[in-house]
Amino acid sequence: METEITFRIAVQKDLDSIVAMLADDFLGSQRERHENPLPTSYIKAFEAITSDPNNELIVACEGGKVIGVQQITFTPYITHQGSWRATIEGVRTAGSVRGRGVGSDLIKWAIHRAKERGCHLIQLTTDKTRPDALRFYERLGFVPTHEGLKLKL
């Protein structure tokens, strides 16, 4: 029998599991470095995220084990009459739980959290080489209303 999935703010001891999930796909394996010890860049990023009240790194846990992660950033905007929006990034689930609804539960949790924070909009991007991810987000109510552009520095 499966245990209940809970959600909480990540703590530093979760970082190894988080990086492992980020590295566990065809894109992540090319850009992440899941090593022991972890590169200090991950520790510095974790510290910056956790010290910023407008960033939350959320983990999904089952039986004490981290099985999912997402980052939510809350941003004030001058547009839309000075409202706030939430941006969801870095959504991953452990390979052992894929297909069990953990990703959907993570996104639903983020939607609830954005409402709690008074956001009028949630935005996210997904890589164009991930058509399954696009379908996943559309099933959860997200609509591809904009073209997203990025510039690597």
Tell me whether residue 74 is in a domain. yes
Give the Cβ contact number of residue 58 at 10 Å: 20
Cβ-based neighbour number of residue 60 at 10 Å: 23
Q: State the alpha helices, DSSP H only, in the chain.
A: 15-23, 28-31, 40-50, 79-82, 102-116, 131-139
**Along the 153 residues of the chain, how does pLDDT read in single tens digits?**
457 899 999 999 999 999 999 999 878 778 888 889 999 999 999 999 999 999 999 999 998 899 999 999 999 999 999 999 999 999 999 989 988 999 999 999 999 999 999 999 999 999 888 899 999 999 999 999 998 888 989
CB neighbours of residue 103 within 10 Å: 21
Structure tokens at 32: 């992440």
* Spatial separation of the C-alpha atoms in residues 22 and 6, rounded to whole Å: 20
Residue bearing tokens 């954005």: 114
The model carries a pTM of 0.91
> In this structure, is residue 53 part of a structural domain?
yes
Give a yes or no: residue 29 inside a domain: yes
Q: How far apart are CA 139 and CA 126, in angstroms?
A: 14
Q: Which CATH number is 23's domain given?
A: 3.40.630.30
- Domain range for residue 87? 5-139
**Domain tally, the chain:** 1
